[in-house]
Amino acid sequence: MSVTSELWFEEKLELDSGRTLKIRINRLIEQFESPYQRIEVYETVPFGRMLVLDGVIMCTEWDEHAYHEMITHVPLFTHAKPERVLVIGGGDGGTIREVLRHPSVAQADLCEIDGDVVRLSRTHLPSMACALDDPRVTIYHEDGAKFIAERPNHYDIIIVDSSDPIGPAEVLFSEEFYVAMRGSLREDGIAVTQSESFYYHASIVKRLTGFAKKHYAVAGYYNTIVPTYPSGIIGFTMCSKKYHPLRDFNEARVTPMQGSLRYYNPGIHRGAFDLPSFIKNEINL
């Protein structure tokens, strides 16, 4: 009989459906109970440092680029000239980091309800939180739904970098929130929301894209590959008042940035909207 001292983290989000993910860890770096959730940062064996909220993996240093680049650059390269950008959630800082790669951005607001996520990310995840002190960034620790309701016709881009639709993020998956985003966008604004996996959560994808079709001139759904997320795939709902993510995509704007990006490129931008037939037929986009 062999004896092992290996330590493992097990995500149990999908356990009721017979699915789990286990990652070998070296140590728990820090655990903190905030007023909203349990925050943990681990040092993993295969994936570098990992941020976990209430037992659910938010990001790892190894594959976060596939998520943060796609939630950001698809809408920002679709919009003609994004100047004011709001990120709701995203306290790890990865989305803000990508937003600030765009020279047209003059204002980047981060609305993260849990200030302790930002604090611990600054300390333990500097590769993601590295842009939070940029002078263009203002950080608010407020409820995202209330925040946008108080700022009508203000933003060119709203990015909802949320956790799953449980706990403090649940309101961000409601029809009322999609209507409120429309009100907070300028006349040619774009919103993009984290919208789960089409393999595991097709009913959620159908509901969110339904809100987009109902309340916006242009609706879309695209995906990216993130191995440490449920099913290895996560998608985003695009809600646009004017611009189409394929017809209005200006590839020439990508060229100056291309050398610094790890996942996103023009081919990935276009291909991310080509969906498998089973989900394409389900959401009818």
User: Which CATH number goes with the domain that contains 74?
Assistant: 3.40.50.150
**3-class SS string, the chain:** CCCCCCEEEEECCCHHHCCCEEEEEEEEEEEEECCCCEEEEEEECCCCEEEEECCEEEEECCCHHHHHHHHHHHHHHHCCCCCEEEEEECCCCHHHHHHCCCCCCCEEEEECCCHHHHHHHHHHCHHHHCCCCCCCEEEECCCHHHHHHCCCCCEEEEEEECCCCCHHHHHHHCHHHHHHHHHHEEEEEEEEEECCCCCCCHHHHHHHHHHHHHHCCEEEEEEEECCCCHHHEEEEEEEECCCCCCCCCCHHHCHHHHHHCCCCCHHHHHHCCCCCHHHHHHHCC
Q: Which residue of the set 63, 92, 114, 161 is catalytic?
A: 161
| Residue 165 pLDDT | 62
Question: Are both 146 and 268 inside the same structural domain?
Answer: yes
**Residue 237 confidence class, pLDDT cut points 50, 70, 90:** very high
**Residue 6 confidence class, pLDDT cut points 50, 70, 90:** confident
**Residue 173 confidence class, pLDDT cut points 50, 70, 90:** confident
Range of the domain at 31: 7-59
Lowest mean pLDDT among 24-28, 35-39, 45-49, 281-285: 281-285
Question: Are both 49 and 169 inside the same structural domain?
Answer: no
The mean pLDDT value for 101-120 works out to 98
Question: Are both 148 and 272 inside the same structural domain?
Answer: yes
Question: Are both 49 and 172 inside the same structural domain?
Answer: no
| Residue 164 pLDDT | 65
Domain boundary among 18, 43, 59: 59
Q: Is the pLDDT of residue 250 over 60?
A: yes
| Residue 3 pLDDT | 46
Q: Residue 42 is part of a domain; what is its CATH number? A: 2.30.140.10
How many domains is the chain partitioned into structurally? 2
In the predicted model, what is the mean pLDDT of the chain? 95
Quick check: is 16 catalytic?
A: no
Is 2 a member of any domain?
Answer: no
